[in-house]
Amino acid sequence: MVHRIDRSVLTTAAFCIALSGCAMPDSHHFGGGPAPRTAPKPCPPGNCELKVTVTDCKAVGGITVEPDYVSVAEAKNMRWTIVTAGYEFTSNGIMFFPPNPQFEYRHNPRPNEFHVHNRKDQPGDYYYFVNVKGCLPVDPWVHNN
């Protein structure tokens, strides 16, 4: 029996190796699968704030993002903050997959914050990874209306 490796798995692996420090999730996570069946929670006016909580760094599901499926109606700045003390983002703390130029990475003033400007050029659901140093990544979604 011949086993095929999904091209997206190889692309993500190469991308992560190039950035150094990207934790790799299980292969069933690549490509994101379908977006969640629940309705996305809208970003409030102003900046879109997302909270990252670490409960078990080495366990699948040990990191949560609130909201884990967020809806963006207009171009805006998005900020992920790790609210659990003692944890930091990797250099590629938020990584959209596949990479998409409408998500512009910004200066991150604190190790527990990651900033992205969402230009909202294209509607759709966008899969991304949250990478915390020493932890398994989590893979939530952004929905551009």
Q: Would 88 be classed as within a structural domain?
A: yes
Residues 19-38, mean pLDDT to the nearest whole number: 53
pLDDT at 7: 37
pLDDT reported for residue 33: 65
Residue-number span of the structural domain to which 89 is assigned: 7-31+40-144
Lowest mean pLDDT among 24-28, 95-99, 116-120: 24-28
Average pLDDT over residues 92-121: 97
Residue 98 within any structural domain of the chain: yes
Q: How many domains does the chain have?
A: 1
Note whether residue 2 is domain-resident.
Answer: no
Is-contact 96 119, C-beta < 8 A?
Answer: no
The whole-model pTM stands at: 0.79
Q: Is the pLDDT of residue 3 over 70?
A: no
pLDDT at 35: 77
Measured in residues, the chain has a length of 145
Whether 66 maps to a domain, the answer reads yes
Q: Give the distance, in angstroms, between the CA of residue 27 and the centroid of all CA atoms in the same chain.
A: 16
112 within domain boundaries: yes
Q: What average pLDDT does the segment 99-106 reach?
A: 97
For residue 1, is it within any domain? no
**For position 36, what pLDDT does the model report?**
83
CATH of the domain at 126: 2.60.40.420
The pLDDT score that the predictor gives to residue 110 is 97
Establish if 94 belongs to a structural domain: yes
d(CA 122, CA 58) in angstroms, rounded, equals 34
